[in-house]
Amino acid sequence: MRFVPFLLLFVAPAGSYSQLYLDASANLPDNGAKGQSMDVRAADLDGDGDLDIVLANEFQANTWLRNQGDETFSNASAGAMSSTVHDSEDVAIADFNDDGDLDLVFCSEDDVNLGTVNVHEYYLGNGAGAFVPA
């Protein structure tokens, strides 16, 4: 059997492309931490079936963006978690205390500039969007 090499070319008109995503950034509220968000996670924190967004922020309060179910988000941080500023680098979301509700852990790199060192935040969730420090 003899193999014969061949070349198959696909030609597309110049300037045409296929957009693979829709930029929906305008649907996110300003969280006041421009350029300081270090980590992001998505999970349904309030039990409504929509994925919410949690941001770990460096030298700003951490942020919970609640999914409104219509492709928009609102800042639900106030009253849901501490507004204390730390050098948060990472966020983990899981049911850490095994009660069936998602909890939050924010890990700080260091807070030397804020007068503290390695302050981590652990919040117990109630499944409806309320969190209390553990």
pLDDT for 5 equals 66
| Residue 111 reports pLDDT greater than 80 | no
Query: In 10 A of CB 46, how many CB atoms?
Result: 20
Residue 60 tokens read as 């700003």
pLDDT digits (tens, 9 = 90+) for 53-102: 999 998 888 999 999 999 899 999 888 888 888 888 999 999 999 999 99
Residues 6 or more apart from 29 whose CB is under 8 A from it?
Answer: 65, 73, 74, 75
